[in-house]
């Protein structure tokens, strides 16, 4: 059975070149980067080479890169590291749970948090961020690209708001990295987090940018690794993989890769919408990363469509979350003022660097017929067609 994976915002496969780069570091080049002997020196050199590659992807200095275990850790470290009891934090209603649940914890710890909303295209208005400022605001944390819709946020304008108010700015760039250029100076952020497994490096790897001179409390205490910003023996093969993936991403971003990927995504989107009535794009009209589209198909359940497509060999996802036994529609789509039914009728399709035109054609061939079949058995659809 043919299987096509179009859920790259959930995770990406490790690219063959990344895997090849990592292999020796599991076998003969296994040293601890803190050791002073030959093995340690080789490990250290590999970590520093990877640091330079990640720095090039984010356009910062290598010394400003700290390796982490992934996006969740970077978000937690960036937020908890800058905020204390009594501080006020501004974030948005469409953040990933790695930020939202960290902010909920801050509230339990005696901080105040303002959650800024979005318009119906899923965009945050920097003016809303400015209006939310208070004398005790310490941090603004707003994502660069949304994981469900791919909508890019005006982080440069938000960075300006943060600078003018002299508050810290953290951005979760997990879904932007490797898809659009990142320039920490242009963004004006103090802390930025990325995740390895969204850019074809292994799961459980990641990095943070921490602006030089930023006083940030570590999340993890122990040895003096990562210039005392993140303790623990470095994940050597993982870091090497992340470095290689960052190198490939930087190369890809400077070529035709992004335009070609956006063209494939747009072709998929247009072909599906041309073949299915009562359907549309969530976040249409907004600037988006090139690999993501989020589509609604009225009268069906997104979860049911994900399962039906999986049975046909196509992997996509719905933003719905299972909470206390019930399927809750995506908080991102609800924040965009989608009616509950439409939010529940949405699926996310996300391409990766391994995605081919044939993969996209396969999706174009199976989505319309599967939506049609689900609608045939949907009482909601029959009610709609008989009135």
Stretch that binds ligand PLP, among 69-77, 154-162, 323-331, 378-386 (CB under 6 A): 69-77
- Please give the residues from 166 up to 195 whose contact with ligand PLP meets the rule CB under 6 A: 172, 174-175, 195
Closest approach, Cβ 202 to ligand PLP, in A, equals 10
Give yes or no: 322 in active site: yes
Nearer to ligand PLP by Cβ, of 72 and 250: the residue is 72
Q: Among 7, 10, 6, 18, which Cα is nearest to 248's?
A: 18
Closest approach, Cβ 276 to ligand PLP, in A, equals 27
Residue ranges with strand state E in 134-217:
137-141, 168-172, 191-195, 206-210
Closest approach, Cβ 209 to ligand PLP, in A, equals 15
Looking at residue 323, what DSSP letter applies? E
Of 98, 118, 167, 335, the one binding ligand PLP (CB under 6 A) is 98
Task: Give the dihedral sign, CA 94/95/98/103.
Answer: negative
Looking at residue 180, what DSSP letter applies? S
Q: x/- contact string, 191-220, with ligand PLP (CB under 6 A)?
A: ----x-x--------x--------------
Examine residue 143 and tell whether it contacts ligand PLP (CB under 6 A).
Answer: yes
Examine residue 96 and tell whether it contacts ligand PLP (CB under 6 A).
Answer: yes
Closest approach, Cβ 330 to ligand PLP, in A, equals 13
What one-character-per-residue DSSP string does 98-157 give?
HHHHHHHHHHHTT-EEEEE---TTSPPPHHHHHHT--TTEEEEE--SB-TTT-BBP-HHH
Nearer to ligand PLP by Cβ, of 201 and 371: the residue is 201
Examine residue 241 and tell whether it contacts ligand PLP (CB under 6 A).
Answer: no
Burial class (CB in 10 A: 0-12, 13-18, 19+), 164: exposed
Of 147, 250, 293, 346, the one binding ligand PLP (CB under 6 A) is 147
Nearer to ligand PLP by Cβ, of 172 and 301: the residue is 172
Examine residue 87 and tell whether it contacts ligand PLP (CB under 6 A).
Answer: no
d(CA 141, CA 92): 8
Q: Among 150, 178, 350, 192, which Cα is nearest to 254's?
A: 178
Of 7, 53, 66, 70, the one binding ligand PLP (CB under 6 A) is 70
Tokens of 323: 């909470």
**Do the beta carbons of residue 45 and residue 232 sit within 8 Å?**
no
φ/ψ of 327, rounded to 5, equals: -85, 115
Binding-site size, ligand PLP (CB under 6 A): 14
Which residues have CB under 8 Å from 167's CB, separation 6+?
Answer: 133, 137, 138, 139, 140
List contacts with ligand PLP (CB under 6 A).
70-72, 75, 96, 98, 143, 147, 172, 174-175, 195, 197, 206
Active site residues: 322
């Amino acid at each position: 059975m043919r299987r096509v994976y179009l859920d790259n915002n959930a995770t990406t496969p490790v690219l063959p070149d990344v895997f090849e780069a990592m292999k020796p570091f599991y076998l003969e080049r296994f040293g601890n980067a803190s050791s002073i002997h030959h093995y340690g020196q080789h490990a250290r050199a590999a970590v520093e080479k990877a640091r330079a590659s990640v720095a090039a992807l984010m356009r910062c200095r290598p010394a400003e890169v700290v390796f982490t275990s992934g996006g969740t850790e970077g978000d937690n470290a960036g937020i908890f590291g800058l905020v204390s009891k009594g501080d006020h934090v501004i974030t948005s209603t469409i953040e990933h749970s790695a930020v939202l649940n960290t902010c909920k914890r801050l509230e339990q710890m005696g901080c105040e948090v303002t959650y800024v909303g979005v318009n119906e295209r899923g965009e945050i208005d920097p003016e809303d961020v400015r209006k939310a400022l208070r004398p005790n605001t310490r941090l603004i944390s707003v994502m660069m690209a949304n994981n469900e819709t791919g909508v890019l946020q005006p982080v440069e304008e938000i960075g300006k708001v943060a600078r003018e108010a002299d508050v810290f700015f953290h951005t979760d760039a997990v879904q932007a990295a490797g898809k659009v250029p990142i320039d920490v100076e242009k963004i004006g952020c103090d802390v930025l987090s990325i995740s390895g497994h969204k850019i074809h490096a292994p799961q459980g790897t990641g990095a943070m940018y921490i602006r030089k001179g930023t006083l940030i409390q570590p999340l993890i205490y122990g040895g003096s690794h990562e210039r005392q910003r993140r303790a623990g023996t470095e994940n050597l093969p993982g870091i090497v993989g992340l470095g290689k993936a960052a190198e490939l991403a930087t190369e890809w971003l400077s070529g035709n890769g992004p335009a070609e990927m956006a063209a494939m995504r747009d072709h998929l989107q247009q072909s599906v919408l041309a073949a299915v009535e009562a359907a549309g794009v969530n976040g249409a009209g907004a600037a988006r990363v090139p690999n993501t589209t989020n589509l609604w198909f009225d009268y069906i359940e997104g979860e049911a469509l994900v399962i039906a497509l999986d049975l046909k060999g196509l992997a996509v996802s719905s933003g719905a979350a299972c909470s206390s036994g019930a399927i809750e529609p995506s908080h991102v789509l609800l924040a965009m003022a989608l009616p509950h039914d439409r939010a529940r009728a949405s699926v996310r399709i996300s391409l990766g660097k391994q995605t081919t035109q044939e993969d996209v054609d396969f999706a174009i061939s199976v989505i319309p017929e599967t939506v049609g079949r689900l609608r045939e058995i949907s009482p909601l659809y029959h009610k709609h067609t008989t009135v």
